[in-house]
Amino acid sequence: MIRTFFILIFGVISLCMSVIITSQKLSFIKSSVQVEGTVAYLSESYSDNSGSPSYYPVVTFQDGNGITRIFRSEVGSNPASYDRGEIVNVYYNPDDPTDAKINGFLALWFASIVTGILGIIFCLFPILTLKRFFTRKKEGGVFPTATKIPIQAIFDSVEVDTSSKIDGDDSYVIHCHWVDPIDNTKKYHFKSKNIPFNPEPYITQDRITVYVDRNDLKQYKVDIRFLPMYT
């Protein structure tokens, strides 16, 4: 559970970074000047985990003072997204012409997209995990209503249910029974919901609470709130 919270925190941080980066790029575009530039050449860069290079376009352009500027794009690819001599649109900061970017989708929004996708993934996974956890806790028992009453059934056994998997593992069910004290010929068998771990070490008494419908004892739910996950 602690790991789930850490993943969620990482996801939230990634989403915040995506929002910040996007805001900075929008602010940059709003205050920048757009001119035409030329891809002077492609700069090769090798990562530690790959034998093939990524190609980063190196672009030249003239600022408002007629000075030729040169910069390397922050985003590279393989195969190359640009050709040598290709004309591209460039955004540059008039107060600092060395701060320039190609007016291209990936060149502008790659970092925002990556951090945003990571944020969504790392938020969605723990949220679904936590939802499933609290759903299990909620479903661990049924509080009595007008027609539901608790009875004390006798614990029989714990059975591995290989036909029902939870998170890829076999699940367990608790079996118990109850004999009608008024008519001891009537014996009712109850089975708990599927449990993702072996509950037997936590069963310290021979009685298990079962909530039944007083009008129909076939409508029941075994109370497993004594188990850690459902407490």
Contact status, residue 39 vs residue 57, Cβ threshold 8 Å = yes
Beta bridge mates, 125? none
**Residue 102 confidence (pLDDT):** 92
> Average pLDDT of the chain?
87
Question: In this structure, are 6 and 83 located in the same domain?
Answer: yes
pLDDT of residue 95: 92
Domain boundary among 115, 150, 166: 115
Residue 2 to residue 10: CA distance in whole angstroms: 13
- Is position 127 within any domain? no
Residues 107 and 159 in one domain: no
* Measured distance CA(53)–CA(44) in Å, rounded: 6
- The predicted model gives 134-160 an average pLDDT of 74
| Last residue in a domain, options 115, 131, 156 | 115
Give CA angle at 77 (76, 83), nearest 5°: 85
In a domain, 136, yes or no: no
pLDDT in the model for residue 145: 60
Whether 71 and 98 have beta carbons less than 8 Å apart is answered as: yes
Query: Is 21 part of a structural domain of the chain?
Result: yes
- pLDDT score of 175: 97
Q: Which residues, in sequence order, are CB contacts of 33 under 8 Å at separation 6+?
A: 63, 64, 91, 92, 93, 94
148 or 137, higher pLDDT: 148
Query: What pLDDT was estimated at residue 21?
Result: 92
Pairwise pLDDT comparison (74 vs 49), residue with the higher score: 74
pLDDT digits (tens, 9 = 90+) for 52-88: 888 999 999 999 999 999 999 988 888 888 999 999 9
Domain residues for 211? 141-230
pLDDT score at 135: 60
CB-count exposure of residue 1 (10 Å: 0-12, 13-18, 19+)? exposed
Residue 226 lies in a domain: yes
pTM, whole model, 2 decimals?
0.51
State whether 19 and 78 are in the same domain.
yes
According to the model, what pLDDT value does residue 5 have? 80
For residue 55, the model assigns a pLDDT of 92
Considering its fold, how many domains does the chain have in total?
2
**Is residue 91 over pLDDT 60?**
yes
Number of Cα atoms under 13 Å in the Cβ half of residue 38: 5
* Cα–Cα distance, 93 to 30 (Å, whole number): 10
Q: Tens digits of per-residue pLDDT, 35-48?
A: 999 999 999 988 76
Q: Distance between CA atoms of 67 and 39, rounded to whole angstroms? A: 17
Q: Do 93 and 155 fall within a single domain?
A: no
Return the pLDDT at 146. Answer: 62
pLDDT beyond 80 at 115: yes
Q: Report the distance separating Cα 72 and Cα 40, nearest Å.
A: 10
The residue count of the chain comes to 231
**Residues 58, 157: one domain?**
no
Give the integer Cα–Cα distance in Å for 199 and 217. 24
Q: What is the mean pLDDT of residues 106-134?
A: 84
Whether 194 is covered by a domain: the verdict is yes
Among residues 115, 150, 183, which one ends one of the domains?
115
DSSP E strand boundaries for 103-186: 148-166, 169-179
What is the pLDDT confidence band of residue 107, given thresholds at 50, 70 and 90? Answer: confident
